[in-house]
Structure 1
Amino acid sequence: MESTVSKRWLLARLYEPELTIVDCRFTLGQPQAGRASYEQEHIPGAVYLDLELDLSGLVEEHGGRHPLPDPQAFAARLAKLGIGDDSRIVAYDDESGMNAARLWWLLRYLGHEQVYILEGGFSAWKAEKFPVTDHQPVRVPSSFQPNVQTQMLVDVDKVRQVSAETGLANPPSSALPILIDSRARERYLGLEESLDKKAGHIPGAFNFFWKDTQNADGSYKSAEELQEHFSKLDKDAEIIVYCGSGVTACPNVLALERAGFNNVRLYPGSWSDWISYEENAVATGEE
């Protein structure tokens, strides 16, 4: 099954007992806005997970703006919401899927494969006049046993090594890992930076803006379209994806996998972690 589901697919299964719907709406800079939107209206049966309180750990000197949550603590949070080992989860947001993709990645990182993203998000759901409610469901706690997939991520030391080896190899060499920067072009080039203390990108990284993997309606492009989008990358290469803080890289991970790349890993600390080390080099402009 694909990693995304359509609105009509979800509508047809809205009240299946093994299904858990998770509202992941969150607005950067307005940390209360997502929960307020959820409390006002949401898809029936949905529970809420907050990007910074639930889908991230505590911010420290290193690790980036949205470090990964502790696996055991996150598993306990899921279990409290009634999400168990056999649950099928559908996540949505209203931010082009970036927060839902974070939950999608996190659950797979904990070894849970039955997780999907709602194509188009909440606004598209509501535009179809599908049901919404302000009722918050009562959930029976479950049991969630994490099976952490450490191979899905890399740390800063690995990224330093890849950056040094990659240099200015253009086009990317299949013999070397490939760094992908998922941020908007202006941030990659170092022309603007509103979120982090330094502008630019990790030396050797190539820019593939995460939103370019989607259609205008918020759905993901087809496998064939994504293969064309990533056509200059070798499918046998190790792909390491980053963004500003490890959130918007997740839609790119999903898109790469949909395009047939099987060795895709996340640098969760991303740019905000990279620049927390003064010794790390910063590149600007085109590679």
Structure 2
Amino acid sequence: MQTLMDVATLKDRLDGADTTGPGTVLLDVRWALGDPHGREQYRAGHLPGAVFVDLASELAGPADPSRGRHPLPPLEQFQASVRSWGVRSGDVLVAYDDSGNLAAARLWWMLRNAGFPEVYLLDGGLAAWRGAGFDLESGERQAEPGDVVLSGGAMPVIDAGQAASWAGQGLLLDARAGERYRGEFEPVDPRAGHIPGAVSAPTTGNVGAEGRFLPPAALRDRFTGLGVRADVPTAVYCGSGVTAAHEIAALEIAGFPAALYPGSFSEWSNKPSNPVATGDAPYAEGAAAD
């Protein structure tokens, strides 16, 4: 499957839309940690025809210490949300945001996991669309309800028990910023550090200065340098399972499959018996249960 669609391809697709063929649904996932103003930013300017997707309420269930800050919602709830965006079977879906796809990748992963066959990330997101000189639309788009039927379990996942032993059988990547991995700074979760055995692989290393994903060869070099191999099972976590999806998209572009730990560090760090390591090595001194 292709992971990305560039803005020129999307513009051509929208300009040449055939009303008898598959529809193209644009999904705006404007969200960032600590910024509750995504909907207002969407209303101020978005791709023409795009529908707003609320990450906190539509792409996650209520925060739960035993499941993390952004647990995956039940399939039935997610299907109802996707239908409310106007999605029908056979549509082509393109998700984007204004932060290098760090939020949009969560939706991309969830749709893939739900068995949707054709979903893309808009490479470079809103910035790339603006940079190409294409028009924006303001206000809020209300879609006619769709009828899509979703399934589940199409993407690999691991749980906390598997994360605890994953480094012994494969490679566990931590997609958070390096200072959070090292335990120098933790803005939201109860303990600072990382899951013992995990390798630091911040999502910021997946994109270039303009917010577009690095070319496949560059991503492949990056991940092989971190220990990713075709014959080594790879899993990814972050703070709450959002930006880890971005890493999985980057790994896919590079040609590597990877599993997601949905609860991520927000789930792991809430259980006192789970050990937490600090420092810049997978098994640094300080790995101990609190």
TM-score between both structures, scaled by the size of structure 1? 0.91
Partner residue in 1 for 2:251: 256
Q: What residue number does 1:173 align with?
A: none
Partner in structure 1 of residue 122 of structure 2: 118
Match of residue 267, structure 1, among 253, 261, 266? 261
**CA distance, structure 2, for counterparts of residue 233 and residue 78 of structure 1:** 33
* Separation in structure 2 between the aligned mates of residue 34 and residue 228 of structure 1, nearest angstrom: 34
> Are 2:34 and 1:40 aligned?
no
Task: Tell me how far 1:204 sits from its aligned partner.
Answer: 0.4
Distance 1:203 1:91 in 2: 33
- Structure 1, residues 187-238: CA drift from partner, whole Å, max 9, x if none? 1111111121211000000111111011111111111111110113221111
> How far does residue 108 in structure 1 lie from its aligned partner after superposition?
0.4
Matching residue of 1:208: 201
Q: Which blocks of at least 5 consecutive residues in structure 1 are unaligned? A: 167-175
Q: Is the partner of 2:166 in helix, strand or coil?
A: helix
Q: How far 1:135 moved relative to its partner?
A: 4.3
Q: Is the 8 A contact 1:45 1:136 kept in 2?
A: no
Q: For 1:92-119, what per-residue CA distance to the aligned partner results, in whole angstroms no more than 9, with x for missing partners?
A: 1011111110000000010112111111
Alignment partner for residue 244 of structure 1, among 239, 242, 249? 239
Distance 1:240 1:113 in 2: 22
CA distance in 2, matches of 1:251, 1:12: 26
Counterpart for residue 228 of structure 2: 233
Provide the rounded CA distance (Å) in 2 between the counterparts of 1:161 and 1:151.
20
Cα displacement (A) at 1:151: 5.1
Residue matched to 1:108:
112
Q: Percent identity?
A: 38
SS of residue matched to 2:49: coil
Task: Count residues in correspondence.
Answer: 274
Q: 1:105 to 1:151 in 2, by over 3 A?
A: closer
Please tell me whether the aligned partners of residues 210 and 251 of structure 1 are also in contact (alpha carbons under 8 angstroms): yes
Deviating above 6 A after TM superposition, structure 1's stretches of 4 or more consecutive aligned residues are none
Query: What is the distance in 2 between the residues matched to 1:138 and 1:213?
Result: 33
Counterpart code for 1:153 = V
TM-score, length-normalised on structure 2?
Answer: 0.90
* Aligned residues of 2:112 and 2:154 also touching (Cα < 8 A): no
Unaligned runs of 5+ in 2: 283-290
* Corresponding position of 1:221: 214
The alignment yields a C-alpha RMSD, in angstroms, of: 1.5
The answer for the alignment partner of 2:273 in structure 1 is 279
Contact 2:115 2:154 in 1 (8 A): no
Amino acid at match of 1:98: L
How far apart, in 2, do the equivalents of 1:247 and 1:151 lie? Answer: 15
Return 198-207 or 211-220, whichever deviates more. Answer: 211-220
Structure 2 equivalent of residue 4 of structure 1: 4
Aligned pairs for 1:9-88 (under 5 A) are: 9-14=9-14, 16=17, 18-31=23-36, 33-88=37-92
